[in-house]
Amino acid sequence: MSTPFSYIPEQREKQIRGLMELFGTPIWITRNKNLALFKSEHHLSLYTIEALLSEGDEITTFKVPSLLQLAIFMLTSGSTGTAKAVCLRQSQVITALEGKASVRKLTKDSPFLNWIGLDHVASLVEIHLQAIFLGLDQIHVDSSDIVPNPAKFLILLSQHKASRSFAPNFFLAKIRSILTVQANSAWRSNLDLSCLGFLASGGEPNDVETCEVVSRELISHGASPDVIVTGFGMTETCAGAIFNLQCHQQDIPDGRKFTCLGHCMPGIAMRVSLPVADGSFISAEANEIGNLELQGPVVFAEYYNNSRATAEAFTADKWFKTGDQAMIDQHGNLHLKGRSQDRININGVKYLPDEVETVLNENFGPELSRVICFPYRPVNQVTESICISYVLGQDTNDFGVWTGIYNKVVRIVMLHTGVRPFILALSDESLLPRSTLWKISRQKVRRKFEAGGFADQIHATESVILKCRTENLGSPANDLENLLLEEMQDTFDIVSDTFGVDCSLFEIRITSIDLMRLKKRIGIRLQLQFKVPVVLLMQNQTVRLLAKALGEVIMMKEYNPIVVLRSEGSKPPLWLVHPGVGEVLVFLGLAQHMNDRPIFDLRVRGFDGEPPFNNLREILSIYYNAIKSRQPNGPYAIAGYSYGTMLAFELTKCWNRIQAKKYFSLVHSISPRISKNV
């Protein structure tokens, strides 16, 4: 069963040649509409389904005695390299089906619903063969009818009383969005999910919050508790083989961003190993990250016609090396930490692409139809950097909208990582192709990017950015704007006719170090008695916005402890009290994830040239009066981080002493290195 061919002709030719080399002279069966994908010079034994089904055609039967025990050839996704043919034997598949069926008992006689192509092992084994194994009906729907319309997916589950289906994290996010936006729609009133007991989710990290919200919504329509089952599986394990049957219940109290993947089903075992100097390994302790390895009758034995890949895939004691970094927690649950080559290492600091992609998806929603983050090494640079590639959710000829999204992506990634990303904005989804399971291969996109395969798209992006800058330069309206414009042009060595007061800093390829240089130069030029916060530059990206913000700061005669992280929202404001270092940057990530309330940070006095506080009483008095001036009436929500927890607690006492009892929310978090000395 072949995985889908590439949209790119050169890559498709390479795939066909690779399959010819792997299988010798295979028989190819396709549809008439796909014949154009094959070139005649390959001399293929090519048949079409239409021709085979036509009356009068003779069908030749081929028998290969040496492969009697072989059930299926399944091609790997090839997300981390060239696809390999996995040999799935009959005994392996049957053992896998028995294991899957034992994980959770489902409603009797309820069908399975599938929208994933049968070329993927999850669709073929998890849904199709398991339904046959259990004697159940199965409903198959084309993914093009489901992915753009998650409401239709829920309606079909309800209409057919389906007990099992599949929804990876990106699709759960779509379900969450549609259930939120259409909370009172008529179609929801008739939704009956009382038969739904197993909504499998895998193939990419599952966001805890998304799982929790979607689970709650599905349960409200009758679905079983713990209906979402996150898990882990590969082509080599006949799809899902490790399942979390209590999705997000342990992850929420543990404060995890992504759900754990649970325990092994019957027929498979897992371990996490750490390599040592002599080439052997030791077993990792609980919560220690290492290499994930699998063993058992559900695990495959070989890649077809590829003895080298088979040998490299197994340890000396015959455990399968998945290529994933993982840990097993104290409860025995599996947690993936990414594939070893996926981590982005910038000056020794490591970032996970999954986390960056999650932040972008949360901030943009349908504005971006596809987004991917991957590492790359710029020419003549000693460290890696970040590349973000995306496709807009809707085509637009409005350059203002286009550049607005571009600048917002840069700002969010810089706030999240401190690193200015390279932006690869694409106009066509075919340039970021998904697999059958709707995953985008970072490795394939990176290889094409580093080989210059996106040169035309990069040039087009630079042309749009330059066009927008030159058409919207703007003229300085006052001396401060003129001064800041001069400093930016000098600092970044840009000519005056390509950068004006209304151009965004993020439209030029600046780094966090460049921002530090700029803030220092501005302070010297204006002879400021305080340091310009970097966050002020990041939040006010144009000369005009920065001049206004700086002007307000300069005009302030008194120290103001309040920093506005979010000004809008319907719920009571959240007040955040700084840790011991006194900075606000620690709360920027939190503010990105809360959009239902205003968020204010309390900034310590003394960082910007003011005299520091003399004692705790003075701190509490100033912070109390600042909060009261901004929010005269309760209830009050105050959270502190590390040292700030003590300040938050003492602040609550101020209200209890001065006025009637109010309600407070207090969050406590202490660094392990600090706790020993507190």
Q: Are 636 and 570 in contact (CB under 8 A)?
A: no
DSSP reduced 3-state for 577: strand
Ramachandran category for residue 112: left, alpha or beta (phi over 0 → left; psi -120 to 50 → alpha): beta
DSSP structural state of residue 327? E
Q: Give the number of other CB atoms < 10 A from CB of residue 58.
A: 5
Structure-derived torsion over alpha carbons of residues 543, 545, 549, 555, reported in degrees to the nearest 10: 70
Instruction: Copy the structure tokens of residue 127.
Output: 């849904």
In whole angstroms, what is the distance from residue 81 CA to residue 51 CA?
A: 34
Are 631 and 606 in contact, with CB atoms under 8 Å apart?
Answer: no
Reply yes or no on whether 189 is catalytic: no
**CA 645 to CA 81: how far, in whole Å?**
48
230: helix, strand or coil: strand
Q: What does the CA dihedral 519, 521, 526, 528 come to, rounded to 10 degrees?
A: 50
Alpha helices in 499-634 (DSSP H): 512-525, 534-539, 543-555, 588-592, 616-630
Residue 435: phi and psi, rounded to 5, are: -80, 180
Distance CA 549, CA 605 (A): 19
User: Which own/partner pairs from 544-549 qualify as long-range (CB within 8 Å, at least 24 positions apart)?
Assistant: 544/474, 544/477, 544/481, 544/501, 544/502, 546/484, 547/478, 547/480, 547/481, 547/484, 547/501
- Report the C-alpha gap between 473 and 110 in whole angstroms: 63
With beta carbons less than 8 A apart as the criterion, state whether 569 and 336 touch.
Answer: no
d(CA 427, CA 396): 10
Angle at 106 between CA 103 and CA 109, to 5 degrees: 140
- Set 642, 665, 669, 675: catalytic member: 642
Cα dist. 310→21, 315, 330, 371, 553 in Å? 17, 10, 32, 33, 65
Kindly write down the DSSP assignment for every residue of 131-157, as one continuous string.
HHHHT--EEE--HHHHTT-HHHHHHHH
In the chain, the amino acid numbered 183 is: A
- Which tokens is 646 given? 């003590």
Give the torsion through C-alpha atoms of 180, 631, 545, 412, to 10 deg.
-40
Cis bond leading into 572, ω under 30°? no
| Cα separation, 268 vs 265, whole angstroms | 6
Asked if 575 and 638 count as a contact pair (C-beta separation under 8 A), the reply is: yes
Residues 6+ apart with CB under 8 A from 509: 420, 422
User: Helix or strand or coil: residue 387?
Assistant: strand
Catalytic residues: 642
